[in-house]
Amino acid sequence: MTPFLLEDYGITVEDVRRNLPPSKLYEEAIRYDARTRIADSGALVAYSGAKTGRSPKDKRIVRRPQSEKDIWWGPVNVALEPHSFEINRERAKDYLNTRDRLYCVDGFAGWDPDHRVKVRVICTRPYHALYMHIMLIRPSRDELESFGRPDYVIYNAGQFPANRLTAGMTSQTSVDISIEDGEVVILGTEYAGEMKKAVFTIMNYLMPRRGILSMHCSATADKKTDRSSVLFGLSGTGKTTLSADPKRRLIGDDEHCWADDGIFNIEGGCYAKTIDLTPESEPEIFQALHFGAVLENVVLDEADRHVDFFDHRITENTRGAYPIELIRNVKVPAIAGHPTDVIFLTCDAFAVLPPVSKLSPAQAMYHFISGYTAKVAGTEMGITEPEATFSACFGGPFLVWHPTKYAELLAAKMRRHHTHTWLVNTGWSGGPYGVGKRMKLAMTRAIIDAIHGGGLVHTPTKPDPVFGFGVVTHCPNVPKEILWPRDAWGDESEYDSAASRLAGLFRDNFRQYEANAGPELTSAGPAMGIAT
């Protein structure tokens, strides 16, 4: 057999190992990557080094004439001049060329064959190759043979830093995406999630151009009707956790597209947070973390190779990646019918938003554009106050077009398919972080079940005096007093001031969109002051 070479890309390494199966990647990881281990469960345990999460400030898009006017330039899409991109690409290739062997993973993004994108990953660490083998859609043997030229190539030289003196660099980390060249260059970070989110960013550019909505959401399908339900939410709000649901079929946990004939998953695997994971609370995910899965940055008992999911020492953001087939109720190919329900997940650490509210179409757009959640500051920083974050379309860091492009697509599709919209708070109840408690997972699951059962649509709601949406006040298996947050707090006046503070943050954030939002959307937000 002729060896597989990457000379066309200026890669001179002669030993290129393409699409190795997981068992071989395990062997390579153990042989060449000193810190890699095999956990007692059979998962491959690897470490990403200094970076244990994404580096959003270091993501850059190459500014070129063809796509320049399409892009929402600013802190999310930092412009990189073509010359600096070429320097970074050269630097990445120079680094790759110093290696004795490289790994190449070819796969697809998007389960719908009409819209799938061919992606090639070139990397140095076996664990990165296994990760992308998991996260991309795995081609069949025939598809691999006829793969041809990929649409996008990711050069992962994450072990090697960017040169701070290169124009446009602000640190040693840079994740550069060139839409026209079909290339991604990674320098200075070995966090595996950068690769999957680079693919998502590319899809967020390509799909809306075809009238397809790309979405930062998980998705499940009804076992009988095949109609889907999508759960939007920022990091840590519960997309992955709540989509692992034995009563439904899993379509995917993080990235989907809504096309004319239904929805499809972009990925071949899931990437779950594993901090404090237990087999009791998240059985589907726990049982998926066996042979063929990657565990990233978890702490392992050196003696018996048992993973301690409660150990936060390396990072709060410990992760497990597993092929989607390892979830028992998965639907493959991961394609389903139009959504009956769109659910916005928010982790409100201020305990203001109700566990579940029904949104009108205008309120749905308002909350989609706002993309509210709260970040709970890490205890290691000594900060106890949670911080509100607003991230457009519940996926700000991955948007490429202006948020209104995605919002308009969502509005049109929801109208056409009579989709209901819900706002679900998976965060705090009874008082803010430090006083109240996080909503019990079992309770949130009961709410999601009630939405999927179709019953909640017909339950009467009570308008929220500050935010205006319809609060669901009766839901099976959820205590009534929790459903109306003002009752769940010990002190009503404290609740009122917390609510008006949060409403103020919503209004401040929305100001940036007011100019082109129109009156309907502007009035769909929280009212001024509290009605008494």
Decide which of Mn ion, ligand ATP, none touches 242; Cβ closer than 5 to 8 Å per partner kind.
Answer: ligand ATP
In the list 240, 297, 363, 509, the residue contacting ligand ATP (rule: CB under 6 A) is 240
Q: Is 236 in the site for ligand ATP (CB under 6 A)?
A: yes
Nearest-5° Cα angle at 345, 531 to 408: 85
How far apart CA 249 and CA 332 sit, in angstroms, is 10
Environment class of residue 64 by beta-carbon count within 10 Å: exposed (0-12), middle (13-18) or buried (19+)? middle
How far apart CA 359 and CA 422 sit, in angstroms, is 6
Q: Among the candidate windows 64-72, 236-244, 323-331, 511-519, which touches ligand ATP by CB under 6 A?
A: 236-244
Environment class of residue 146 by beta-carbon count within 10 Å: exposed (0-12), middle (13-18) or buried (19+)? exposed
Binding string, residues 418-457; x marks residues near ligand ATP by CB under 6 A: --------x-----------xx-x--x-------------
Of residues 457 through 496, those in contact with Mn ion by CB under 5 A are none
Q: Among the candidate windows 177-185, 228-236, 428-436, 452-460, which touches ligand ATP by CB under 6 A?
A: 228-236
* Residue 223, token pair as written in the block: 């076992």
In the list 235, 340, 419, 509, the residue contacting ligand ATP (rule: CB under 6 A) is 235
Q: Is 391 in the site for ligand ATP (CB under 6 A)?
A: no
- The residues annotated as belonging to the active site are 54, 197, 216, 235, 239-240, 254, 319
Closest approach of Cβ 270 to Mn ion, in Å?
Answer: 7
Instruction: Give kind and range of the element (H or E) at residue 461.
Output: strand 461-463
Q: Give the nearest residue (CB) to Mn ion.
A: 240
Q: How many residues bind Mn ion (CB under 5 A)?
A: 3
Binding string, residues 253-282; x marks residues near Mn ion by CB under 5 A: -x----------------------------
Q: Where are the beta strands (DSSP E) in 51-109?
A: 59-62, 78-80, 102-109
Q: Which is nearer to ligand ATP, 139 or 355 (CB)?
A: 355
In the list 84, 88, 241, 346, the residue contacting ligand ATP (rule: CB under 6 A) is 241
Q: Which is nearer to ligand ATP, 233 or 526 (CB)?
A: 233
Q: Is 240 in the site for Mn ion (CB under 5 A)?
A: yes
Number of neighbours of residue 115 by Cβ within 10 angstroms: 18
Of residues 251 through 280, those in contact with ligand ATP by CB under 6 A are 254, 272-273, 275
Q: Which is nearer to Mn ion, 169 or 330 (CB)?
A: 330
How far apart CA 527 and CA 510 sit, in angstroms, is 13
Using CA of residue 42, residue 47, residue 48, residue 52, what is the dihedral sign?
positive
In the list 126, 168, 208, 238, the residue contacting ligand ATP (rule: CB under 6 A) is 238
Nearest to 394 by CA among 265, 231, 514, 182: 231
- Whether the CB-CB separation of 233 and 239 falls below 8 Å is answered with yes
Q: Is 208 in the site for ligand ATP (CB under 6 A)?
A: no
For 362, which DSSP code?
Answer: H
The two beta strands, 213-221 and 356-359, are unpaired
Beta bridge partners of 472: 461
Q: Is 233 in the site for ligand ATP (CB under 6 A)?
A: yes
Q: Is 237 in the site for ligand ATP (CB under 6 A)?
A: yes
Closest approach of Cβ 76 to ligand ATP, in Å?
Answer: 16
Q: Which is nearer to Mn ion, 287 or 500 (CB)?
A: 287
Decide which of Mn ion, ligand ATP, none touches 30; Cβ closer than 5 to 8 Å per partner kind.
Answer: none
Q: What is the DSSP code string of 176-217?
A: EEETTTTEEEEES---THHHHHHHHHHHHHHHHHTTPEEEEE
- Whether the CB-CB separation of 106 and 117 falls below 8 Å is answered with no
Nearest to 161 by CA among 62, 253, 58: 58
Q: Which is nearer to ligand ATP, 36 or 274 (CB)?
A: 274
Torsion-angle region of residue 156: left (phi > 0), alpha (psi -120 to 50) or beta?
A: beta
Q: How many residues bind ligand ATP (CB under 6 A)?
A: 18
Residues that bind Mn ion (CB under 5 A): 239-240, 254
Residues that bind ligand ATP (CB under 6 A): 233, 235-242, 254, 272-273, 275, 426, 438-439, 441, 444
